[in-house]
A and B are shown apart, each in its own frame.
Chain A
Amino acid sequence: MITLVLFPVVINTEAGLRTTSVRLIEMLRSFGATRQQIFWKISLPSAAPFVLAGLKLGIGRGLIGVVVAELFGSRAGLGQLISQSADAFNMPNLFAAVVILATAGIAMTAGFTWLEKRLVPWTKD
């Protein structure tokens, strides 16, 4: 579970920090900036879009992880509802669970897109 969510976030954050523009760093260095100032004023903000993209990936994977785990041996949750309803040929319940799941996935992704627009507007348009 942790590995499913954590890895995309960590890998993307690392990539984000790595792609920090050399030219921006040089600009700050021309004013005599310290390494710490470069990190807080340049590296971290330029990695922000990558962190968010990682979280977006992570959330989708997290949702899948939870449901798959519930499909196999769980006493509650949507996954369990799906497998139980399938076993009992209870189609209304089965579809209700699937629709809820899909809606949750779409809502979370949309929420993150909204968050991206608010937090890192310079990556859009």
Chain B
Amino acid sequence: MAEGRAVAAVAPKLSVAGLCKSFATLEVLSKIGIDIADGEFISIVGPSGCGKTTFLRIVAGLEEASAGEVRIDGNPVSGPGIDRGFVFQSDNLLPWRTVLNNALIGPEVAGTATPQARSRTLDLLKLVGLAGFEHYFPRQLSGGMRQRVNLARALAVDPKILLMDEPFAALDAQTREIMQTELIRIWEQGRKTVLFVTHQIDEAVFLSDRVLVFARRPGRLREIVNIELPRPRALGLKRTPEFVRYVDHIWSLIEEDVRQSVLHEGG
């Protein structure tokens, strides 16, 4: 359980340095710094209010940092763009569009909704397991299927980095487990760089190469845990002693913080 180094060996895909964020007088994030290599799967866990979602939103360009910077391939990020794909917690599908047209909205906004983009998006819908549902409307789909569209929509712009904000939080426990293995399967196809925010420690360990453990008040990076479990990973891994050891270790890092936030602020 070696503490991860903050510097990747090769030129990082995503580089965050001295990142701070305050809302009025409340300090939400304090001096976050991390380099992430191309193709890494990184999860961020931490108690409520540790600023992990804010961190993701700053990387996405949806929120501005108070200090510090985010670089992708060495270029500073100044706003949203299609080099990043954001998978939201709620699926945010447009109810008046079919599955296919929902997934195509990124290319459409970018002005690249060509026939090639369309056939690529159809392939993506197949990849996420929605073949045959292209012309359904969101209201005709289950929660798990809607999240698959959410994922396909983010992938449709072929982003360099995939940003995922608790995408499985609204799903029931069984669907969530299946979606985790599905996400790994999809990720193995292209090995995009992924930043995955979650409350579920086991989800973070199961999916990731490294887990960033955040502490709260102010939100800061407490520890980087390297997950040295073999890939490809299957659900059975969750019952192995190595897996449980990782989960216990991360839980021990945030337990006190969680207790504080639950007992003194009602969660």
On A, residues with C-beta under 8 Å from B are: 21, 23-24, 26-33, 37, 41-42, 45, 48, 120-122, 125
Contacts and interface: CB of A to CB of B under 8 A. Distances in A.
Is chain B's interface secondary structure helix, strand, loop, or mixed overall? loop
Is chain A's interface secondary structure helix, strand, loop, or mixed overall? helix
A70 to B, nearest CB: 40
Contacts, number: 55
Nearest to B138: A122
B96 A120 contact: yes
Contact of A30 (B62, B90, B94, B96): B62
Contacts of B95: 122
A23 B88 contact: yes
Nearest to A121: B137
Nearest to B156: A31
Interface of B: 60-62, 79-82, 84-86, 88, 90, 92, 94-96, 105-106, 108-110, 137-139, 157
A37 B90 CA distance: 21
Contacts of B82: 31-32
A31 B106 contact: yes
Given A24-B94, A45-B96, A120-B96, A30 B60 contact: yes
Contacts of B79: 32
Contact of B80 (A29, A121, A125): A29
A53 to B, nearest CB: 16
